[in-house]
Amino acid sequence: MYESPCYCTNLRRGALWATAYYDKMLAPSGLSVPQYYLLINLSRMEKANLTQWAQRVGLDRTTMVRNVKKLESKGLVALTNGSGRTFTLTERGRSVLAHGVALWEDAQARLREKLGPEDADALLRICRKLQATD
């Protein structure tokens, strides 16, 4: 593979690798990386309407609606009382997420081992710095 000096190219390649790696690790739970990300955030919020949830995860409303429909069809989230279309995890959603969390923790540990603690910490530091840049 061509070794590019381009930051963007290398970030994109890294992101594609990371998504494929975490998708593979999460596969036994039946969750994809985006689904895991949505569910773990909803779990932390306990319940949220589409606008709150979309803001928390950084998605536009159209993308959010499309993703939530998939989660609903899998029986992982359901409407609950609240302002607007408010969602919470179902019992099945909590169970699937618990399995996903265990798999995610294993993926994190394996990746940290592969990178080594110094590079793993540097990766997080650099990613956080990029996210804080406007």
Q: For 30, which DSSP code?
A: T
Residues paired with residue 78 on neighbouring β-strands, in sequence order: 88
- Tell me, what CATH number does 97's domain have? 1.10.10.10
The DSSP symbol for 29 reads G
31 exposed, middle or buried (CB, 10 Å; 0-12, 13-18, 19+)?
Answer: buried
Q: What is the pLDDT of residues 88-126, one digit of tens each?
A: 999 999 999 999 999 999 999 999 999 999 999 999 999
Look at residue 63 and tell me if it is in a domain. Answer: yes
**Residue 28 to residue 4: CA distance in whole angstroms:** 34
Owning domain of residue 20: 7-131
Count of structural domains within the chain: 1
Q: What's the whole-model pTM score?
A: 0.91
* Cα–Cα distance measured from residue 5 to residue 13, given in angstroms and rounded to the nearest whole number: 12
Is 2 within the bounds of a domain? no
